[in-house]
């Protein structure tokens, strides 16, 4: 499949043929990466995660409770894409309401990993990553609340970029956890990620969390020859699998060969990140998902006996098990007598995590860490929720403190042949340095798709 950069110079006639080819590939591959092949206008086709609003499209967040809902407006990222000559093409499968790490909780069934159909593609943006990796999409948009762009990108061997919180408008994104959610690109190269990021970024007055900052275009100004100081977190690497440690060792050598300075640091045990994240995220989820009541929009239970029965049955029938679990957890930590013990404490830990990362950034331009503890697991292997939550151990701190991060494929595991990705992290709003380092790392490892 052509790159996004190559697509920029294609005629509309050529792009129409490409759209037809993408659909044929998706139907032939049988990965279940797409939930619909909707089209909205002329331009370069960009696959959208099924939680991004496109006017007159059905948008379900892969949940039964939103079946029948039709979006009345375009998300800001969709408006910006159109202005850049790109057009929404297809809805990508995902974990229900972006709550998951495997894309197995979707009401449409699981997406399969294109490198091994017995394995998951990661989540929650698994459909977006699998489609890009399999050549079913030129590029895609996902959302990242705790690693949901970077982790599936790592599992599928593509590039996944989570911008700084506030860089990209959340207006028109189905909310999971509002202080953590961020839209970003999934592509086959760092350069393509920069092109799509440039198209969607910028201040939006309709999003109260949107940063009122300007930024020059990244694409065309990336400097892979810039020499940087890059921190590696030794205690993070020690807890990873042999496959991930081997990729990390290769990446460090590659960065050193490019002339970058490597410094060794340690951070607190990521179990504290997990604990804080799953308190904050579930609390916000419980609040955001209260709007799905069967009255305002979406699916409604049949023949309710009264208003209480309507609410109870609509939500019981409409939400999947993982979503129900997180709503219950969120309501618990926000309840009287537990708010101070859990929610407020988690917010304090969030500030401690930020301070700790800032101390590393006092000495380093970037941080190199794993994306996940291991390669993509088999379907059903993370059925235990706690095991699934632990798989996010390296990604969630980035969302808790709003940093930008980019996942890159480094190598293929010698035993399984599966991709192994690592991520680079930068200071808030320092996307330029992040892309410089990412381009340098991409060039030095020469991962083969």
pLDDT at 247: 97
**Residue 440 falls in the annotated catalytic set:** no
User: In this structure, is the dihedral angle defined by the CA atoms of residues 401, 74, 104 and 379, taken in order, positive or negative?
Assistant: negative
Alpha helices in 258-374 (DSSP H): 271-288, 307-318, 321-334, 345-361
**Residue 124 falls in the annotated catalytic set:** yes
User: Which one of 105, 148, 189, 444 is the catalytic residue?
Assistant: 148
Alpha-carbon span 256 to 180, nearest angstrom: 33
Q: In what order do the strands lie in the sheet with 183-187?
A: 34-39, 86-92, 44-49, 140-143, 183-187, 159-162, 405-412, 419-426, 366-370, 229-233, 261-265
pLDDT in tens, 307-330: 999 999 999 999 999 999 999 999
pTM for the full predicted model = 0.97
Which overall architecture, per CATH, does domain 4-226+369-445 show?
Alpha-Beta Complex (3.90)
Concatenate the DSSP letters of all residues of 251-292 into one string.
HHHHHHHTTPEEEEE----THHHHHHHHHHHHHHHHHHGGG-
- pLDDT band, very low/low/confident/very high, at 337 (cuts 50, 70, 90): confident
Average pLDDT over residues 378-390: 93
**298: region left, alpha or beta (phi > 0 left; psi from -120 to 50 alpha):** left
Cα distances (angstroms) measured from residue 435 to each of 224, 233, 243, 391: 8, 20, 25, 25
pLDDT in tens, 212-232: 999 999 999 999 999 999 999
**Residue 49 falls in the annotated catalytic set:** yes
User: In this structure, is the dihedral angle defined by the CA atoms of residues 335, 338, 343 and 344, taken in order, positive or negative?
Assistant: positive
> Is 80 exceeded by the pLDDT of residue 149?
yes
Do the beta carbons of residue 47 and residue 143 sit within 8 Å?
A: no
Alpha-carbon span 366 to 422, nearest angstrom: 13
> Is 90 exceeded by the pLDDT of residue 447?
no
User: Which one of 63, 101, 106, 124 is the catalytic residue?
Assistant: 124
Of all residues in the chain, the percent with pLDDT exceeding 70 is 100
Question: Mean pLDDT in the chain?
Answer: 96
Alpha-carbon span 61 to 42, nearest angstrom: 25
């Amino acid at each position: 499949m052509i790159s996004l950069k190559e697509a920029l110079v294609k005629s509309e006639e050529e792009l129409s043929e490409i759209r037809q080819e993408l659909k044929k590939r998706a139907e032939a591959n049988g990965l279940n990466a797409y939930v619909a092949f909707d089209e909205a206008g002329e331009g370069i086709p960009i696959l959208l995660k099924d939680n991004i609003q496109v006017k007159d499209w059905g948008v379900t967040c892969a949940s039964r409770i939103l079946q029948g809902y039709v979006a009345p407006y375009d998300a800001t990222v969709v408006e910006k894409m159109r202005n850049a000559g790109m057009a929404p093409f297809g809805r990508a499968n995902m974990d229900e309401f972006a709550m998951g790490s495997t894309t197995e909780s979707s009401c449409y069934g699981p997406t399969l990993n294109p490198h091994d159909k017995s394995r998951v593609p990661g989540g929650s943006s698994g459909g977006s990553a699998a489609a890009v990796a399999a050549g079913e999409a030129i590029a895609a948009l996902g959302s990242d609340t705790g690693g949901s762009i970077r982790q599936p990108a790592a599992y599928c061997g593509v590039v996944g970029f989570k911008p700084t919180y506030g860089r990209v408008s959340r207006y028109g994104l189905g909310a999971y956890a509002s202080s953590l959610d961020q839209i970003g690109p999934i592509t086959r190269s760092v350069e393509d990620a920069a092109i799509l990021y440039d198209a969607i970024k910028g201040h939006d007055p309709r999003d109260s969390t949107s940063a009122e900052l300007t930024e020059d275009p990244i694409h065309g100004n990336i400097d892979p020859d810039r020499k940087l100081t890059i921190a590696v977190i030794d205690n993070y690497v020690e807890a990873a699998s042999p496959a991930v440690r081997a990729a990390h060792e290769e990446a460090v050598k590659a960065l050193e060969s490019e002339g970058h300075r490597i410094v060794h640091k340690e951070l607190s045990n990521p179990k504290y990140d997990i604990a804080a994240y799953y308190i904050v995220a579930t609390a916000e989820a419980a609040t955001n998902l209260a709007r799905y009541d069967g009255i305002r929009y979406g699916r409604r239970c049949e023949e309710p006996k009264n208003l209480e029965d309507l609410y109870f049955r609509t939500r019981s029938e409409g939400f999947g098990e993982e979503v129900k679990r997180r709503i219950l957890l969120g309501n618990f930590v926000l309840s009287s007598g537990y708010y101070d013990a859990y929610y407020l404490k988690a917010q304090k830990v969030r500030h401690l995590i930020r301070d700790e990362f800032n101390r590393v950034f006092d000495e380093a331009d970037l941080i190199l860490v794993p994306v996940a503890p291991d390669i993509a697991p088999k379907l059903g292997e993370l059925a235990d929720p706690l095991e699934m939550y632990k798989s996010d151990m390296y990604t969630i701190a980035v969302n808790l403190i709003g940093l930008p991060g980019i996942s890159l494929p480094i190598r293929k595991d010698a035993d399984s042949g599966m991709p192994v990705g690592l991520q680079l992290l930068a200071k808030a709003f320092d996307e330029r340095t992040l892309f410089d380092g990412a381009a340098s790392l991409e060039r030095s490892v020469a991962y083969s798709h």
